[in-house]
Amino acid sequence: MSAVVEAPANAKAAYDARWQRIMDCVALRQPDRMPATLFGTFWLAKYAGVSYKQLMYDLDGTAEIAERAVLELDPDTVSPLVLQTAMGPTLDATGYKQVQWPGQGVGDNQPYQYLDREYMPPEEYDDFLFDPTGYYLRVYLPRVMGAFEGFSEFPNIAGGFYFRLFANVRGFLNPALQESWARVQKAGQVSQELAEHNNRFVARMAGLGYPMGNIATSGAPFDVLGDYFRGARGILTDMRRRGDKLLEACDKMRRLLVKQVVPAAKAAGNPIVFIPLHWAPDAFMSQDQFKTYWWPSFRQMMLDLIAEDLIPMPMWESDCTKRLEIIQDIPKGKAIYWFERADIVRAREVLGDTVALRGNVSPSTLTTGTPEDVDAAVKYIVDNVWNNGGRIILDAAFGLPDETPVENVRAMFRAARKYAG
Amino acid sequence: MSEMTEQEARLVGHLAEMEEDEGIDLAKKMLLEEGADPMRVLELCRAAMDIVGKKFEDGEYFLPELVLAGEMLDTIGAIAKPLIKNAPGEEPRKLGKVLIGTVHGDLHDIGKNIVSFMLDINGFEVKDIGIDVPAATFVSEIEAFKPDVVGLSGFLTLAFDSMKETIATIDKAGLRSDLKIMIGGGQIDETVRAYTGADAFGVNAVEAVSLCKGWMGVNA
């Protein structure tokens, strides 16, 4: 269907106007209307009546469905809808072990789900800190991706010198490593295909007048260590058992994350860096623990991104209302804070002169309510945030819940235009 | 519990204050060197957990402390339990039985585990039947365990329909009149409670405990 929709003649002007609305919000100016954004994953399956599995594996089909949804809903920005769902072939090729996905552990109509495990035992903190690249190559990648299993035999090259360097080269003959290398090359091709599909989708959307709300993605240092290395039990008890080590690792991880995401965002040509946050909520740790262990490395990461002319867009999962005063401490007009369950009215009061806001139509209203309920929820945000001078980008609490009835999504976008220009 | 010696009070203090090394070392010394009654040491652990639970309810402790407390309890329990020579005496009477699990389709368990732990240290007999639990399994577990309360946990929005279906299945099996059903998880609110037909919802473990206590006629 992509082929039959012609790019409108005014697409460039429409693109610029939409993008300007987001940039106005970031710069703390109120735009001509409240921007509304389309961020979804498996909701596209609901929209098109296909299975989640199909969405993960049929890259062209997913792009076509995404385009149809965008053209119907006419949002101001779009998330990288293909990249966020059509990962099935890449997950298969890499033998990724940290999630289960349709056909690999969960049913054909269930979303991919992360598996909370200890992927790095505490005694390996020092290995990670001493030589993160060596640790990734020989330990972490073989542990979390089947394609890398043979990389546990990767020769120990650091410390090689002069003729010793030649001796180390022999290590690359290792059969397990060679076998892995072949798998990794294949996985690289599959991953490249996904990237190309994403690039085509982004270009296609731009041609139709729709900018991306973000392309590059990162994580907070504490969260990355917690979710993908230490696991929930590990990271929680590390605060009590080895706080200094945890802080050292957060600082190291911060520098690695910045080194990854800055070139990625620049190559993508979109300055907004989406950073979903997991361990910040009020209920998870005390204010003191938050201020000591969670916030400093993330704050510094945001400053690092801002220094590179990028726009951090953290999504504060769950309820972070008690953290608002703490997280206010960043330069004004440089970031978008997306809130899931935090009180958005209070967020405007505390942060309205510091950051743009994004969110946060309730997932329960969207999934179980009527279009009238959704209309009322949007009106609440308009009345209490937008009409009070709030620079807010309308979205659901964490993007559209997968189960949201299509009528309710239509109601959300309709209400944005009805109440806020 | 009966009055504590200075050493016993020290053990309770170490555990309640998250002084893990000191607490475990002292428990080991008491059990392995001094021949302390293992049942008594476990009773002291319970007393420490009561304090931990109270501090959690008061907003002084959070998840790190609950998880660490649970691990300290497991460590001491593993040393103490093999030392119990006679059949244990009568267990203290429990406030009630709670069956808990994450509904089908959802693999998340952090919140559920915290709720189980808090219910346990507050005197409930808890049976945790894990994650991704089909509705029919809840029914058979209810028939076997005969809980006073069933807790349905779920983090993803797909859990709304799974909870609704599970509750309908429990209803249909004619088991609903003898128990209360509470739901909880990241996205749960009153809208979801009404949608699923649950008796109540809680946004955290403290609320789960007070719901259960309320239903059992115990002062929350």
- Enumerate domains of chain B plus CATH numbers: 6-83 (1.10.1240.10), 97-215 (3.40.50.280)
Residue from the list A115, A233, A401 with its beta carbon closest to the beta carbon of B107: A115
Q: What confidence score (pLDDT) does residue B94 get?
A: 87
Pairing type for strands A113-114 and A99-102 reads antiparallel
Inside any domain, residue A369: yes
| C-alpha to C-alpha distance for A109 and A112, rounded to whole angstroms | 10
Inside any domain, residue A260: yes
Q: Which helix (H) or strand (E) holds A182?
A: helix A175-208
| C-alpha to C-alpha distance for A11 and A9, rounded to whole angstroms | 6
Distance from CA of B69 to the nearest CA of A (A): 10
- Rounded mean pLDDT of B167-174? 96
Q: What confidence score (pLDDT) does residue A258 get?
A: 98
Number of compact structural domains in chain A: 1
Read out DSSP for B102-138?
A: EBTT----HHHHHHHHHHHHTT-EEEE--SSB-HHHH
Q: What confidence score (pLDDT) does residue A2 get?
A: 45
- Rounded mean pLDDT of B172-180? 95
Inter-chain touch A111–B158, beta carbons under 8 Å: yes
- The residue length of chain A stands at 421
Q: What confidence score (pLDDT) does residue B92 get?
A: 67
Confidence class for position B81, pLDDT limits 50, 70, 90: confident
Q: What confidence score (pLDDT) does residue B220 get?
A: 57
Question: What CATH number is associated with residue A49?
Answer: 3.20.20.210
Q: What is the pTM of this model?
A: 0.94
Inside any domain, residue A101: no
Distance from CA of B90 to the nearest CA of A (A): 33
Q: What confidence score (pLDDT) does residue A273 get?
A: 98
Inside any domain, residue A305: yes
Which residues are CB-contacts of B39 (< 8 A; sequence separation ≥ 6)?
B84, B88, B89
Residue from the list B18, B20, B158 with its beta carbon closest to the beta carbon of A402: B158
pLDDT digits (tens, 9 = 90+) for B144-167: 999 999 999 999 999 999 999 999
Inter-chain touch B64–A237, beta carbons under 8 Å: yes
| C-alpha to C-alpha distance for B157 and B192, rounded to whole angstroms | 10
Inter-chain touch B18–A240, beta carbons under 8 Å: yes
Residue A14: domain span: 2-92+110-119+195-420
- Rounded mean pLDDT of B23-50? 94
Residue from the list A289, A318, A368 with its beta carbon closest to the beta carbon of B64: A289
- B 155-174 residues inside an 8 A Cβ radius of A: 156-158, 160-161
Read out DSSP for B154-191?
A: --STHHHHHHHHHHHHHHHTT-GGG-EEEEESTT--HH
Confidence class for position B2, pLDDT limits 50, 70, 90: confident
Q: Is B15 helix (H, G, I), strand (E, B) or coil?
A: helix
Inter-chain touch B60–A100, beta carbons under 8 Å: no
Looking at the complex, does the CB of residue B198 fall below 8 Å from at least one CB of chain A? no
Disruptive mutation site among B56, B157, B206 for chain A (greatest number of A CBs within 10 Å): B157
Inter-chain touch B160–A111, beta carbons under 8 Å: no
Q: Is A129 helix (H, G, I), strand (E, B) or coil?
A: helix
| Distance from the first to the final alpha carbon of chain A | 30
Judge whether residue B89 has pLDDT over 70: no
> What number of other Cβ atoms are within 10 A of residue A247's Cβ?
18
Q: What confidence score (pLDDT) does residue B32 get?
A: 96
Inter-chain touch A113–B64, beta carbons under 8 Å: no
Inside any domain, residue A185: no
Inter-chain touch B188–A241, beta carbons under 8 Å: no
Disruptive mutation site among A115, A286, A321 for chain B (greatest number of B CBs within 10 Å): A286
Q: Helices then strands (H, E): number in chain B? A: 9, 5
Inter-chain touch B106–A113, beta carbons under 8 Å: yes
Looking at the complex, does the CB of residue A363 fall below 8 Å from at least one CB of chain B? yes
Long-range contacts of A380-384 (CB under 8 A, 24+ apart): A381/A344, A382/A34, A382/A415, A382/A416, A382/A419, A382/A420, A383/A419, A384/A344, A384/A345, A384/A348
Inside any domain, residue A105: no
Q: What confidence score (pLDDT) does residue B78 get?
A: 93
| C-alpha to C-alpha distance for A195 and A267, rounded to whole angstroms | 12
Residues of B in contact with A113 (CB under 8 A): 106-108, 156
Question: Can you say whether the dihedral through the CA atoms of B69, B75, B77, B83 is positive or negative?
Answer: negative
Intervals of chain A under pLDDT 70: 1-5
Inter-chain touch B157–A289, beta carbons under 8 Å: no
Disruptive mutation site among B24, B62, B112, B117 for chain A (greatest number of A CBs within 10 Å): B62
Residues of B in contact with A315 (CB under 8 A): none
Q: Quick check: A318 and A295 in contact, CB under 8 A?
A: no
Residue from the list B60, B105, B109 with its beta carbon closest to the beta carbon of A110: B105
